[in-house]
C-alpha cells in the first residue's frame, strides 16, 4: 500500500481532534453533538443555494490562506492578512463607489486596486524585516490595527451612506462581483466571481512556487537565509517581494469579501478571515492545493453555523472554537507524530 | 493645559493599569524564553472569568467582596488557560507564535460561546465594579495629590505593588536570575542545574495570571460589561514590552505612554485643544510609534537571546 503523505495524516488528525473538541463543547452545554454536527452540515450543504454560500465563504479563506502560506514559504509569518484584507477591500470599495466605467473594466480596476492596497500594506513589514530585521509578527500586528483605524475613520468620512455611520454606501450592482447568471445558477446564493480570482490565484501561486526561479529563490530564503545569501540570492529583495505578494493575495480576499460576499464595508471589525487564513495555511501544509481543500473545509464550518444555531441553540462561535483547536493541534503536531510512531511500532512489534 | 492633564489623568491611569499588568506578565514569559502572542486571548479569559464570577456572587455576597474574588478568578483563569500555551511551546516544541495565535482565537470563541449559553446575548453585565476613591490626606499634596491620589481605583495600587514585587523577583532573587538565564542561554542554564522546563512553565503561567488579572481589571473598572474582546490591548501590551525593552520600569513607561495616547484619542472630540488633530492620527499613533521603536531598537535590541527557541535537553 502506498503510504499517505505525512502532511495529510497530520491534517486529518488535527481535524479529528478539532471535531472532538467541538463535540465536547456541545456536550458541556447539554447539547447533542451528533445533532449539532448534523445541522452544521445541513446548514452548509442541504441545498444548492447553501452550497453556493459555502463556496462563497471559502473564496475569501482560499485567498487569505494562500497569503499566509506564501509568506510561510519564505520563512515569514504573516499575521497581518486581516489588515491587508481590510486595505485591499477599502481600495476596491473606494473605486467601486466612485468610478463610472464599463463593468468589466471597473471590476478589473477594483481587483487591481485590492491587490495594490494589500500589497502596499504587506510591503511595510517586509521592508522593515529586510532593512532593519524587525520581527514581521509584531510589525504585521501593528499594521492590522493601523488598518482597523484607517477604515474606522475613512469609511464614515468619505463613503458613508444616508443613514448608517458605521458602514459604507452599498456598492452598485455593476461594481459587485456577484453575477446574475451565477447567482441564479445557485438559486440566489452569495457565490460570486471571486471564485475565479481564487482559483486563478491558487494556480498562479502554484506555478510561481513550483516552476519559476522566483519561487525557488523564495523557498531557498525560507529554508536557510544564510545559505541562500551565500548562493547569491538577493535575500532582502525576496523578503520584501514575498510580503508584497502575500499582502496582495490578502488584498484580493478583501475585494471578494466586501464586493462579493458582502455589498458594502463595515467599520470596527478586524476580519476573522485573516486569522482563519493561518489555520487554512497550516492545515493545507502551505501547499496551494492543500490550501484550497482546507479553505473549503473551513468554509463548511463557517457557512452552516447560523443554521445549526437556529435549529439546536448551539452558539455559532463553536466554529471558531473548532478552527482554533485545529490550529493548536497543527502547531503541536509533534504530539500526533509521537502517537503515530508508537502506534506503528506497536503494530510491527505485535505481529 | 494643566487642567486638561489633571482632568484626563485618571482615565489615562485606568487604561494604563491593565496594559501594565499584562505587559509585566509578558515580561516573565519572554524573559524565560517563550514568546507570548496569546496575551490578548489570556486577557479575554480573565475578563470573562471575572465577569462571570462577579455576576453570580454579587447578589449573594456582602457588598464589596464579589469584586476581589472576581479578580482572583480572572488571575487563576488566565493562569490555567496559559498552560495550553506552555504545554505547546515547552514540551511539544510548537511554533510559539502559532500556538499563541491559537490561544487568541480559542479565547475569543470559547468565552463568547459560554457567555451566549449563560446569558443568551454573549454579553455579561455586572452591577457594581470598583469605585474610584480619593485618598484623604495624600490627595492634598500639591500636583502629585491631584494626579495620583484623587479618583483612583484600588486596583491601581495593587498593580503598582505587583510591579515592584516583579522587579524584585526578577532582579534581586535567585529565581529571577534563573528565569532570565533560561531566556538567554537555556543550555548553559541547564548545565548549571536549573530546570529549564520548570522555569519556562512558571514564566508562562505568571504571564497568564497577570494577563487574566489585567482583563479582570478592565471588567471591574472602566468596562462593566463583558463583550468578548479587549480590542487589541493585549497586542498593545506586547508592543509595550518591546518599547520598554523587556525591563519592568521600561514597560511602566511604555504602558503609561500608550495609556495616555489612548485616552487622548478617546477624549479628543470633547477637548478643543485636541480636536484640531485628526482622530485617525491619534488612534494610529501608538502603533506607528511601536513600528518606529522597533526600527530604532533594531540595532541594539535587549530582547532575550533565546526567545522563541524550543529547548532540547542536552543542547549546548
pLDDT for A142: 93
Q: Are A194 and A177 in contact (CB under 8 A)?
A: yes
State the DSSP code for A160.
B
Per-residue model confidence (pLDDT) at position A103: 95
Task: Give the whole-angstrom CA distance, residue A121 versus residue B13.
Answer: 33
Residue B136 confidence (pLDDT) above 90: no
User: pLDDT (tens digit, 9 = 90+) per residue, A283-311?
Assistant: 998 999 999 999 999 999 999 999 999 99
The residue in chain A having the minimum alpha-carbon distance to the alpha carbon of residue B107 is A321
Residue whose grid cell is 496594559: B19
For chain A, the C-alpha Rg in angstroms (whole number) is 21
Which set of grid coordinates corresponds to residue A216?
525557488
CATH topology of domain B2-297: ABC transporter involved in vitamin B12 uptake, BtuC (1.10.3470)
The total number of residues shown for chain A amounts to 351
Q: Return the pLDDT at A351.
A: 40
Q: Residue A1: which pLDDT band, with cuts at 50, 70 and 90?
A: very low
| pLDDT of A7 higher than 60 | yes
- Quick one: which of B176, B173, B227 has its CA closest to B24? B176
Rounded CA-CA distance A118/A123 in Å is 9
**Which of B84, B106, B228 best probes binding to A when mutated, by most A CB atoms within 10 angstroms?**
B106
The CATH code of the domain at A6-346 is: 1.10.3470
Check if the beta carbon of residue A84 is closer than 8 Å to that of residue A67: yes
Which residues, 6+ apart, have CB-to-CB distance to A67 below 8 Å?
Answer: A78, A81, A84, A118, A246, A247, A248, A249, A250, A253, A277
Say how far apart CA A198 and CA A220 lie, in whole Å: 26
DSSP letter string over A3-45? PPPHHHHHHHHHHHHHHHHHHHHHHHTT--HHHHHHHHHHHHH
Q: Report the gap between the CA of A205 and the closest CA in chain B (Å).
A: 23
Q: How confident is the model at residue A343 (pLDDT cuts 50, 70, 90)?
A: confident
pLDDT of B7 strictly over 70 = yes
Are the C-beta atoms of residues B263 and B283 closer than 8 Å to each other? no
- Whether the per-residue pLDDT at A200 is higher than 60: the answer is yes
Residues in chain A within 8 Å Cβ distance of B290: 138, 142
Cell for B51? 465577569
Cα gap A70→A214, rounded to integer Å: 12
Is residue A250 within 8 A of residue A144, CB to CB? The reply is no
- Chain B contact set for A128 (CB, 8 A): 291, 294-295
In this complex, do A275 and B235 lie within 8 Å of one another by their Cβ atoms? no
% of residues, chain B, pLDDT over 90: 54
Measure Cα distances from B98 to A103, B83, B276 in Å.
41, 15, 41
Q: What DSSP string runs through A255-309?
A: HHIIIIISSS-BSS---HHHHHHHHHHHHTTT-HHHHHHHHHHHHHHHHTHHHHH
B17, B34, B117, B130 from B37: Cα distances, Å? 19, 10, 28, 29
> In the prediction, which pLDDT does B21 show?
97
Distance CA A280, CA A298 (A): 8
End-to-end CA, chain A: 17
ipTM for this prediction:
0.89
Whether B94 and A334 lie within 8 Å, measured CB to CB: yes
Cell of A108: 478589473
Answer whether residue B130 shows pLDDT above 50: yes
Residue A249 has a CB neighbour count (10 Å cut-off) of 35
Write out chain A residues lying below 8 Å of B239, CB-based.
138, 141-142
Which residues fall within 8 angstroms of residue A224, CB to CB, at 6 or more apart?
none
- In sequence order, the 6+-apart residues with CB closer than 8 A to the CB of A139 are A80, A124, A125, A128, A129, B291, B294
- Which of residues 298 through 327 in chain A touch B, CB cutoff 8 A? 315, 317-321, 323-325, 327
Please check the confidence at residue A205 and state whether its pLDDT lies above 80.
yes
Cell of A59: 473564496
Sign of the Cα pseudo-torsion (A19, A21, A25, A30, in order) = positive
**A334 falls in which pLDDT band (50, 70, 90)?**
low
Question: Is B101 in contact with A278 (Cβ distance < 8 A)?
Answer: yes
Mean pLDDT lowest among A2-16, B29-43, B94-108: A2-16
Distance from CA of B153 to the nearest CA of A (A): 29
Digit-coded pLDDT (tens) for A166-190: 899 999 999 999 999 999 999 888 9
Q: Is A24's Cβ below 8 Å from some Cβ in B?
A: no
More confident residue, A124 or B148: A124
- Per-residue pLDDT of B261-291, as tens digits, reads 888 888 887 777 777 888 888 889 889 988 9
Q: What is the pLDDT of residues B153-181, one digit of tens each?
A: 889 989 999 999 999 999 999 999 999 99
Asked whether residue A199 carries a pLDDT value surpassing 80, the answer given is: yes
pLDDT exceeds cutoff 50 at A350: no
Per the CB < 8 Å rule, is B284 touching A145? yes
pLDDT at residue A140 above 50? yes
- Contact B29/B36 with Cβ under 8 angstroms? yes
| B109/B199 Cα distance (integer angstroms) | 30
Torsion angles phi and psi, residue B291, rounded to 5? -60, -45
Residues 234-263 of A with CB under 8 A from B: none
Q: In this predicted model, what pLDDT tens digit does every residue of B96-110 receive, in sequence order? A: 999 999 999 999 999
* CA of A220 vs chain B CAs: smallest distance (Å): 20
Domain ranges of chain A: 6-346
Residue B241 C-alpha cell reads as: 514590552
With cell 452548509, the residue in question is A44
Residue A134: its chain B contacts at CB < 8 A?
291, 294-295, 298
Q: In the numeric block, which cell numbers belong to residue B277? A: 488633530
> pLDDT tens digits for B196-246?
999 999 999 999 999 999 999 999 998 889 988 888 899 999 989 888 889
Give the number of beta-carbon pairs within 8 Å between A and B.
Answer: 129
pLDDT tier at A349, thresholds 50, 70, 90: low
The chain B residue lying nearest A327, using CA atoms, is B102
Give the model's confidence band at B123: pLDDT under 50 very low, under 70 low, under 90 confident, else very high.
confident
The string of pLDDT tens digits covering residues A241-300 is: 999 999 999 999 999 999 999 999 999 999 999 999 999 999 998 999 999 999 999 999
pLDDT digits (tens, 9 = 90+) for B69-92: 999 999 999 999 999 999 999 988
| pLDDT value for A3 | 56
* Mean pLDDT, rounded, of chain A: 92
Interface touch B294/A132, C-beta < 8 Å = yes
Instruction: Taking residues A121-139, report their average pLDDT.
Output: 93
Amino acid at each position: 500500500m502506498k503510504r499517505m503523505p505525512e502532511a495529510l495524516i497530520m491534517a486529518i488528525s488535527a481535524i479529528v481532534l478539532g471535531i472532538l473538541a467541538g463535540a465536547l463543547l456541545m456536550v458541556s452545554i447539554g447539547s447533542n453533538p451528533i445533532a449539532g454536527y448534523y445541522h452544521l452540515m445541513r446548514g452548509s450543504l442541504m441545498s444548492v443555494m447553501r452550497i453556493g454560500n459555502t463556496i462563497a465563504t471559502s473564496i475569501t479563506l482560499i485567498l487569505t490562506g494562500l497569503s499566509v502560506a506564501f509568506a510561510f514559504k519564505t520563512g515569514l509569518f504573516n499575521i497581518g492578512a486581516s489588515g491587508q484584507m481590510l486595505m485591499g477591500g477599502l481600495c476596491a470599495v473606494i473605486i467601486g463607489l466612485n468610478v463610472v466605467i464599463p463593468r468589466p473594466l471597473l471590476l478589473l480596476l477594483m481587483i487591481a486596486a485590492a491587490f495594490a492596497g494589500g500589497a502596499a500594506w504587506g510591503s511595510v513589514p517586509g521592508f522593515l524585516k529586510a532593512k532593519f530585521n524587525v520581527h514581521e509578527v509584531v510589525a504585521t500586528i501593528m499594521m492590522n490595527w493601523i488598518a482597523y483605524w484607517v477604515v474606522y475613520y475613512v469609511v464614515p468620512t468619505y463613503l458613508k451612506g444616508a443613514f448608517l455611520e458605521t458602514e459604507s454606501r452599498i456598492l452598485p450592482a455593476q461594481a459587485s462581483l456577484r453575477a446574475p447568471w451565477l447567482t441564479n445558477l445557485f438559486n440566489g446564493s452569495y457565490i460570486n466571481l471571486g471564485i475565479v480570482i481564487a482559483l486563478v490565484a491558487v494556480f498562479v501561486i502554484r506555478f510561481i512556487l513550483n516552476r519559476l526561479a522566483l519561487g525557488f529563490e523564495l523557498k531557498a530564503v525560507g529554508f536557510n537565509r544564510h545559505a541562500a545569501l551565500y548562493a547569491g540570492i538577493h535575500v532582502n529583495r525576496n523578503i520584501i517581494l514575498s510580503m508584497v505578494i502575500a499582502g496582495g493575495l490578502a488584498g484580493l480576499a478583501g475585494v471578494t469579501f466586501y464586493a462579493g460576499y458582502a455589498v458594502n464595508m463595515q467599520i470596527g471589525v478586524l476580519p476573522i478571515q485573516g486569522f482563519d487564513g493561518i489555520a487554512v495555511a497550516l492545515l493545507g501544509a502551505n501547499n496551494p492545493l492543500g490550501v484550497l481543500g482546507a479553505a473549503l473545509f473551513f468554509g463548511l464550518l463557517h457557512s452552516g453555523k447560523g443554521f445549526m444555531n437556529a435549529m439546536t441553540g448551539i452558539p455559532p462561535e463553536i466554529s471558531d472554537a473548532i478552527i482554533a483547536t485545529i490550529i493548536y493541534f497543527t502547531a503541536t503536531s509533534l504530539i500526533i507524530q509521537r502517537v503515530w510512531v508508537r502506534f506503528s511500532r506497536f503494530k510491527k512489534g505485535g505481529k | 493645559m494643566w487642567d486638561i492633564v489633571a482632568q484626563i489623568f485618571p482615565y489615562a491611569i485606568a487604561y494604563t493599569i491593565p496594559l501594565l499588568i499584562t505587559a509585566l506578565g509578558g515580561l516573565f514569559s519572554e524573559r524565560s524564553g517563550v514568546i507570548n502572542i496569546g496575551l490578548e486571548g489570556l486577557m479575554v479569559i480573565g475578563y470573562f472569568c471575572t465577569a462571570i464570577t462577579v455576576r453570580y456572587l454579587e447578589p449573594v455576597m456582602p457588598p464589596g467582596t464579589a469584586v476581589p474574588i472576581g479578580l482572583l478568578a480572572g488571575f487563576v483563569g488566565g493562569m490555567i488557560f496559559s498552560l495550553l500555551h506552555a504545554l505547546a511551546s515547552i514540551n511539544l516544541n510548537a511554533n510559539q507564535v502559532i500556538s499563541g495565535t491559537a490561544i487568541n482565537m480559542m479565547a475569543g470563541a470559547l468565552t463568547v460561546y459560554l457567555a451566549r449559553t449563560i446569558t443568551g446575548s454573549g454579553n455579561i453585565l455586572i452591577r457594581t465594579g470598583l469605585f474610584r476613591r480619593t485618598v484623604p490626606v495624600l490627595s492634598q499634596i500639591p500636583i502629585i495629590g491631584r494626579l495620583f491620589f484623587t479618583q483612583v481605583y484600588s486596583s491601581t495600587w495593587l498593580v503598582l505593588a505587583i510591579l515592584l514585587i516583579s522587579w524584585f523577583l526578577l532582579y534581586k532573587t535567585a529565581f529571577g536570575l534563573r528565569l532570565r538565564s533560561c531566556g538567554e542561554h537555556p543550555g548553559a542554564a541547564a548545565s548549571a542545574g536549573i530546570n529549564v522546563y520548570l522555569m519556562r512553565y512558571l514564566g508562562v503561567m505568571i504571564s497568564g495570571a497577570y494577563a487574566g488579572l489585567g482583563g479582570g481589571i478592565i471588567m471591574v473598572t472602566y468596562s462593566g460589561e463583558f463583550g468578548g474582546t479587549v480590542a487589541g490591548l493585549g497586542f498593545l501590551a506586547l508592543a509595550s514590552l518591546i518599547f520598554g525593552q523587556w525591563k519592568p520600569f521600561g514597560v511602566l513607561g511604555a504602558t503609561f505612554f500608550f495609556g495616555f495616547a489612548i485616552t487622548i484619542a478617546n477624549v479628543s472630540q470633547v477637548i478643543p485643544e485636541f480636536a484640531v488633530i485628526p482622530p485617525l492620527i491619534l488612534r494610529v499613533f501608538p502603533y506607528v510609534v511601536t513600528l518606529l521603536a522597533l526600527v530604532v531598537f533594531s540595532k541594539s535590541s535587549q530582547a532575550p537571546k533565546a526567545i522563541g527557541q524550543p529547548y532540547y535537553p542536552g543542547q549546548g
